[in-house]
Amino acid sequence: MDLLSQLTTTFQDAFQADPLLICSPGRVNLIGEHTDYNEGFVLPAAIDKAIYLAVGPRSDNELHFVAYDLNKTYQGTLNRLEPTHTWADYLLGVVAQFRLAGHEPGGFNCVFGGTIPMGSGLSSSAALENGVGFALNEVFSLGLDRITMLKLSQRAENEFVGAKVGIMDMFASMMGKADHVIKLDCRSLDYTYAPLQMEGISIVLCDSRVKHSLVTSEYNTRRSECEAGVRFLQTFYPDIKSLRDVTMPMLDRHLRDTDPLIYRRCAYVVQENQRLLDGVAALEAGDVAQFGQLMYGSHEGLSHWYEVSCPELDILVDIAHQQTGVLGARMMGGGFGGCTINLVRENALDDFTDLITKQYKAQTGKDAYLHVCKIQNGTHRINP
């Protein structure tokens, strides 16, 4: 029995009703890393690894949740929406933010499970939050648009769960479009879709199966280093607000010799924004090979200029670079572990899998897990 059937059956057995079925996808980011908090650009897409929800209204104010994959349940009430510091907070936080925003969902039942690999950096939490918000909007006919819903998802994670995430994960999961990536301006939230002509090419995630403890502390350090660079440059250019407004000539003139470390951090961000714009132009021209080269450039910058990679991620990208059937590869996410994202010709996929599996094990002693993804639509109903 497939997952949707299992969720449906579990819902019917528990609540004696037929559910509304929702698909809320995870996301990848093809290029544009650590640019979001610098008011730059990102280029994410929704993928066919997703959270699935079976949802239905109740006649009372109670909340009944079943985490199918965890085999755990939660029961509560709309009258007491407080953090539990468990998985239930990702659902409760969305309900709380809907109510704070003046929307009045009633009590409801929810059974959910997913196909997003755990710990892979594909934003399962954003997918779950979007799925809950989308379901509330559908079940209780609240009339909200997608942008409003994804902002409430972000607020739920920021303020209820307590994770200070940016907007990209929620945006990609909710706004994804099959066969397209989203060029998202993190300053204005303006967005456009760029075609991703992937016929004969697979998106492959290589999970390093490591997550170094540096990720949180170094993430905060990188943010402060970028902010320090902006403050310094503002003494010469008072109008700049973030690295989005900075050019390489500005950095070369004022920072390169004054503070080489801050220069490298800022230069990476400025160059990554340009790589993304060049990448969108390449995709619009149907030149996926050129886009792949820009991905390699992105990894080089993340590893040597921004210094958020790690030996395992560098090894995965180096192995990929050896193969002619790989168009591009880079680390994805915050860094210090997690996944690389690779564009691999389908006729080279078996060789790529074999080489990555053997060489990564030989060089690190660890197993790499590979996931092949397709680009799909954002959060949506499955049944009418």
Name the binding residues for substrate: 33-36, 219
Q: Are 333 and 350 in contact (CB under 8 A)?
A: no
**Residue 118, beta-bridge partner list:** none
Distance CA 69, CA 111 (A): 10
The Cβ of residue 161 has, within 10 Å, a number of other Cβ atoms equal to 18
From the list 131, 153, 134, the residue with the least C-alpha distance to 142 is 134
Coil, strand or helix at 171: helix
Residues 6+ apart with CB under 8 A from 176: 25, 27, 44, 45, 46, 47, 182, 375, 376, 377, 378
**Which secondary-structure segment (H or E) carries 319?**
helix 311-321
Tell me the DSSP string of 185-198: ETTT--EEEEE---
From the list 105, 200, 191, 103, the residue with the least C-alpha distance to 147 is 191
Residue the block writes with tokens 């965890």: 70
At residue 58, what are phi and psi to the nearest 5 degrees? -110, 165
Binding residues for ATP: 119-125
Distance CA 255, CA 228 (A): 11
Please pick, among 2, 13, 169, 245, the residue that the annotation labels catalytic.
169
CA count, 13 A, side-chain hemisphere, 369: 13
169 is catalytic: yes
CA angle (97 as vertex; 94, 101 as ends), nearest 5: 140
Which residues have a catalytic role annotated? 169
